[in-house]
Structure 1
């Protein structure tokens, strides 16, 4: 099941944190980020997809060393729609950040400065999507969306760009 289908299931589950308002806020933030940086929505969606892949790797590493509760703590602390540069140093070392910036630059044509200014917003947006799997009653409990995201086998089922496009269609935007 794709990440977006799992998010839709979470929206339908009254025990989960997910809501259409949460998805709408994420989409609005991406649109605003695109406008503020004079970047095409396609470029921002591509950047978010790349950020999603790098975030997955970083969260897997955190889970391997600190367990699922550490991953849930990071998701809950940093998942949102506002810029937070602290998330970058929490998840990535400098060479990982450089690699991510280079990959985004080569795939989107955005310059490194623009990407650096966008990362403190894009990473929390990815984490906010993962936050949709939180249980309303136990924020540190099992997060089905985060688990699926981290356990995906790289077969293309987990793609933030696709999830954003499906969310936009789902919300009629």
Structure 2
């Protein structure tokens, strides 16, 4: 099942936090970031997808070494629409941050300073996207969106950008 299908299932499940307002807020934030950084929304979405790939690796490592609850705890603590340098530092070392900046620069053409300033916003947005599958009553319970994201097919391709595009069409038919 694709990440987008899992998100739609979460929206339809009244026990989970997902709702179209949450997705709309994420998209509006991406639009604002695009305007603030003088980049088109597709470029910022591409940057978010690359960041998402690295978030996935970091969360997979946390899940494998510290358990599923630790990965969910990070999503719950840092998922949002406000900038968080702490979220970036929690998930990535300085060399990893440099690698992310270089990868985003190669892929999008954004300058490193812009990318560096976007990271504290993009990481919480990715985590907010994943938070959509958290349970309303027991936020430490199984999160199907996070599980789908972490249990990807291992091809290195994060379905986050595709899921965002499909969710955008879902929100704006």
* TM-score of the pair, normalised by structure 1: 0.97
Which consecutive unaligned segments of at least 5 residues does structure 2 have? none
* Aligned partner of residue 22 in structure 2, secondary structure: helix
Partner of residue 26, structure 1: 26
Partner of residue 96, structure 1: 96
1:117 aligns with 2:117: yes
CA contact (8 A) 1:2 1:158 kept: no
The CA distance in 1 between the partners of 2:93 and 2:157, in whole Å, is: 27
The CA distance in 2 between the partners of 1:21 and 1:91, in whole Å, is: 26
How many residues matched?
Answer: 173
Per-residue deviation at 1:155?
Answer: 4.2
Per-residue deviation at 1:68?
Answer: 0.6
**Which residues of 2 match residues 91-170 of structure 1 at below 5 A?**
91-155=91-155, 158-170=158-170
CA contact (8 A) 2:15 2:137 kept: yes
Per-residue deviation at 1:156?
Answer: 7.1
Partner of residue 66, structure 2: 66
Per-residue deviation at 1:158?
Answer: 3.9
Which consecutive unaligned segments of at least 5 residues does structure 1 have? none
Partner of residue 45, structure 2: 45
* TM-score of the pair, normalised by structure 2: 0.97
Q: What root-mean-square deviation, in Å, do the aligned CA atoms of Structure 1 and Structure 2 show?
A: 1.2
* Aligned partner of residue 30 in structure 2, secondary structure: helix
The CA distance in 1 between the partners of 2:163 and 2:115, in whole Å, is: 21
Q: Deviations over 1:37-86 (max 9, x none)?
A: 00111110110110010000000111111101111110000001111110
* Aligned partner of residue 38 in structure 1, secondary structure: coil
Per-residue deviation at 1:118?
Answer: 0.4
Partner of residue 77, structure 2: 77
Point out 4+ residue stretches in structure 1 off by more than 2 angstroms.
154-158
